[in-house]
Structure 1
Amino acid sequence: MTLPRRGLRAIAALSIAVCLSAACSNADSSSPEGASSGGTYNIWDPYPQFDDSSDWVKLLTKCGTDAGVTVKRTGYDTTDLTNKALLAAQQGNSPDVLIVDNPVVSTLAEAGVLNTTDATAGIEPNLLAAGQQDGKTYGIPIGANTLALYYNKKVLDAAKVDPATVKDWASLTAALEKVKAAGKKGITFSAIGTEEGSFQFLPWFWGSGAQLTQLDSAQGVAALTLWTDWLKNGLAPNSVLNNTQTTSWQEFATGDYAFSENGTWQLANAKKAGFEYGIIPIPSQAGGTAPAPTGGEFVTTPVQTDTKRYDTTAKLVACLSSADNALTTDTTLSYVAATAAVQDKQVAANPDLKVWVEAVKAAKGRTSDNLGTKYPKISEPLWTAFQSALSGGKSPADALKAAQTTAASATK
């Protein structure tokens, strides 16, 4: 039987009263409520690549053991997980712990699927914001990834470019022009007509001072003009129109490009590239680090009809998000931790992460600014706009004007 949305929200309201907070996570397992802690607890995550021998699954198992329960873990593809989570909520059989991509949190929260939490001490506010809506917090980030610029030291040396001089758009474009004059290629990125493309455009869009609520602002037009000028002047390849972040990286790995916009997840590949590389933050238009979008997942707790399960669920969440476990977890997932204390430990263990920590500190969630479920309705017109402008179909101003009209209509 399908549970109507208002029914889900009613259960959510009840569960909020019961709470899944820091106080709950300290429940005494010897208390009457603690008696419900035996049995099996279900955890769903978007990491099907990890099998039972992985550090990730071993951590889940340990958290269950510490809480006195057996953990049954299921890994799904990210898109499949969202659909299954919504269906499970309608059918009243949600998992006890649900780990989802951060933009999905607002979708599930709006549907009444998730409990709120106040177990947020120490978490960086800009990372937490992706899991907040209407002043309430619906999950805890287990870490984050974001974007920066990888560079090929040999290419820059040949062009007599010092990467330390790249501080803003003007200095970056000047560097690309020197690289082209030296016979090499400038910058590669992903401008594909999907969320992946929007993810890569946002640092430039936000770095101009533009806001997602006004796509066709002068600042937004400046950001898109930057991209279109790079293509027009041969500083970036036309292939960006079809590049995913993976194929964009493959271009950079040829050794012909000076820069690649990409993420922490490429660090292992960078070390295998066969040339000396470095990393700098994506610069904003006027200088400084541009806000890049955060990737990464949130640990959330779906609504349950049996509220006695919440005490144990809170213990599982506390274990997964604890500082003691975060370093191992985020290293396994190639994430920057969500707390400054663990970030410091990561940099101490791997100095290559220093730039990524700085980038994550400046980053913001795509659903932040209380956009929530409005974000996908803005992102699609945005990627349609840069696809149109980069292919020469429309000017940046006209493309973004059309995008703003579409987004405004869709988010009324």
Structure 2
Amino acid sequence: MTVSRRALSAMAAISAAAFLITACSHDGGGPASSGAAGGTYQIWDPYPQFDGSSDWAKLLQKCGTDAGVTVKRTGFDTTDLTNKALLAAQQNNSPDVLIVDNPVVSTLAEAGVLTTTADTKVDTSAVEPNLLAAGQLDGKTYGIPIGANTLALYYNKKVLDAAKVDPATVKDWPSLTAALAKVKAAGKKGITFSAIGTEEGSFQFLPWFWGAGANLTQLDSDQGVAALTLWTDWLTKGYAPNSVLNNTQTTSWQEFATGDFAFAENGTWQLANAKKAGFEYGIIPIPGRGGGTAPAPTGGEFVTAPVQSDAGRYATAEKLIGCLTSSDNAYATDTTLSYVAATETVQRKQVEANRDLTVWVAAVQAAKGRTSDNLGTKYPKISEPMWTAFQGALSGGKSPRDALSTAQTAAAAATR
């Protein structure tokens, strides 16, 4: 494989790809030395918060030692990492292993930057198919997930008790809305979430959109309209605050942390904060419209192998990737990153060690990638009209159906 001229046009698309980086709460390298055996192998990751003394950095060095090579690791800001990866590919100076946010995989793959797992012989057989799908395009797989995070509903037990609501009865949209009505009647606040006009808002809308049975290729379907109507009705009835229009996932969490709200839609990355909140909390899956767990979008990174002019380097890259994603190492890494593992074996181990992860494992097992269904780089062109639609409807400017009809027209034109 060689890096095609598509990498040049990918630079224009990178601003769109960059906004996808929302779920995970998380300087340059020089040329890698050539040769398949021994030498120095570069690994770029999006974890600049971990310095050389961290467990993560030590794991990278151990994997290098086990493979008989020296690892040079560089941590970048996530958005900067994608730009650097494209530039490096154009200059034939890519790292040997690149760890990148999962929605960006399709951008890099379409630009010809990444090898497939068939090229490098990376074994993905144990990975949950719904998680692996975020790194697939046109029937090919471009890496292996290091772990995943997603969304669920946190609840405040004291608020629900005062409203005489049993969280176990919240199984679908009608039962959730009924619970919110009881909470409001008891003088408390219902649910907070992020509906900001960015990818962060789309990330939080997708469980309701997908949970209604809607598809991203038809934003204005009856199912999509039902999802947006659910949100707008909550605001109209006072079950959710108008602040959701400007809430990020962080400010939404801060509202929940006041202790006044019954529910908050948020992610695994808030578990540590939940334990510090000062009130008893619990977690339930986001319900689908008619029941079951709604598919929520996945966050988390993929471990990939960029294209090299020296194909002999792939054998060692495969060893490094295999080491980083092995069961024992994935368990330690996913605990550090507050991720649910990508394989059922490690997921079971996580739940045995921490029962709080039971709901999160179920949520991840039902989740799907934003670029799945072979959407790839079309997803950003759909997401922006979608968030424009729910902003318009929630602010009262348009009905849910009119807002999504306009969005569908815009998305269809952008993805032709």
Is the TM-score greater than 0.5?
Answer: yes
Tell me by how many angstroms 1:54 deviates.
Answer: 1.5
Is the 2:153–2:263 Cα contact (8 Å) retained in structure 1? Answer: yes
Q: Output the CA distance in 2 between the equivalents of 1:6 and 1:178.
A: 55
* Other structure's SS at 2:117 match: coil
* Change in 2 beyond 3 A, CA 1:120/1:153: same
Matches within 5 A, 1:12-23: none
SS at match of 1:36: coil
Q: Which amino acid aligns with 2:261?
A: Y
Find 1:248's aligned residue among 252, 263, 266: 252
Aligned position for 1:392? 396
Is 1:85 aligned with 2:81?
no
Report the equivalent of 2:42: 42
Aligned to 2:371: 367
8 Å contact from structure 2 (residues 4, 111) kept in 1: no
Aligned-residue offset at 1:36 = 2.8
2:151 corresponding residue in structure 1: 147
Pair 1:274-2:273 in alignment: no
The answer for the alignment partner of 2:334 in structure 1 is 330
Q: Is contact 2:6-2:110 (8 Å) kept?
A: no
Which of 382, 389, 394 matches 2:386? 382
Q: CA separation in 2, counterparts of 1:184 and 1:261?
A: 17
Task: For 1:8-407, list aligned pairs within 5 A.
Answer: 36-118=36-118, 119-407=123-411
Are the counterparts in 1 of residues 214 and 223 from structure 2 also a CA contact under 8 Å? Answer: yes
Aligned length: 386
Shift of 1:138: 0.3
Q: Deviations over 1:170-202 (max 9, x none)?
A: 000000010011110000000011111000000
Structure 2 Cα separation of the partners of residues 143 and 263 of structure 1: 14
Q: Secondary structure at the match of 1:37?
A: coil
Deviation at 1:4, TM superposition (A): 4.9
Contact 2:35–2:313, Cα closer than 8 Å, also in 1? no
User: In the aligned structure 2, how far is the partner of 1:408 from the partner of 1:198?
Assistant: 17
Structure 2: which amino acid aligns with 1:88?
Answer: A
TM-score when normalising by structure 2: 0.91
- Give, as a single letter, the amino acid of the residue that structure 1 aligns with 2:324: L
After superposition, the Cα gap between the structure-2 partners of 1:43 and 1:35, relative to the gap in structure 1 and judged at 3 Å, is closer
Q: Which amino acid aligns with 1:179?
A: V
Secondary structure, aligned partner of 2:191:
strand
Judged with a 3 Å threshold, the aligned counterparts in structure 2 of structure 1 residues 313 and 157 are, in CA distance, closer, same or farther, namely same
Give 3-state SS (helix, strand or coil) of 2:36's partner: helix
Q: 1:186-228, CA deviations, whole angstroms, 9 ceiling, x for partnerless residues?
A: 0000001111100000000000000000000000000000000
Give 2:108's aligned amino acid. L
Q: Aligned partners of 1:58 and 1:258: how far apart in 2?
A: 41
Moved over 3 A (4+): none
Secondary structure at the counterpart of residue 338 of structure 1? coil
Identity of aligned residues (%): 84
Q: What's the CA shift for 1:383?
A: 0.4
User: What is the identity, as a one-letter code, of the residue corresponding to 2:315?
Assistant: D
TM-score by length of 1: 0.92
Q: CA deviation at 1:309?
A: 1.2
SS in 1 for 2:350: helix
Alignment match, 1:12: none
Q: Which amino acid aligns with 2:95?
A: P
Q: Which runs of 5+ in 2 are unaligned?
A: 9-33
Aligned to 2:412: 408
Deviations 1:304-344, CA, capped at 9 Å, x for gaps: 11112111111100001111211101101100000000000
1:409 is aligned with what amino acid?
A: A
Q: Could you say if the C-alpha distance between residues 58 and 157 of structure 1 is closer, same or farther in structure 2, counting changes exceeding 3 Å?
A: same
Give the Cα separation in 2 of the matches to 1:78 and 1:240: 26
Task: Give the counterpart letter for 1:50 in structure 2.
Answer: F
Range with bigger deviation, 112-121 or 394-403: 112-121
Alignment-mate amino acid for residue 68 of structure 1: G
1:393 and 1:90 mapped to 2: Cα distance? 45
Superposition deviation, residue 83 in structure 1: 0.9
SS of the residue corresponding to residue 176 of structure 1 reads helix
Inter-CA distance 197–35: structure 2 relative to 1 (3 Å threshold): closer
User: 1:31 is matched with which residue?
Assistant: none
| Code of the aligned partner of 1:43 | I
AA matched with 2:352: A
8 Å Cα contact 2:7-2:113 kept in structure 1: no
Distance 1:205 1:276 in 2: 30
> Deviation digits for residues 227-251 of structure 1, max 9, x if unmatched?
0010111100111111110010000
Structure 2 letter corresponding to 1:175: A
2:17 aligned partner: none
- Name the amino acid aligned to 1:198: S
Secondary structure at the counterpart of residue 381 of structure 1: helix
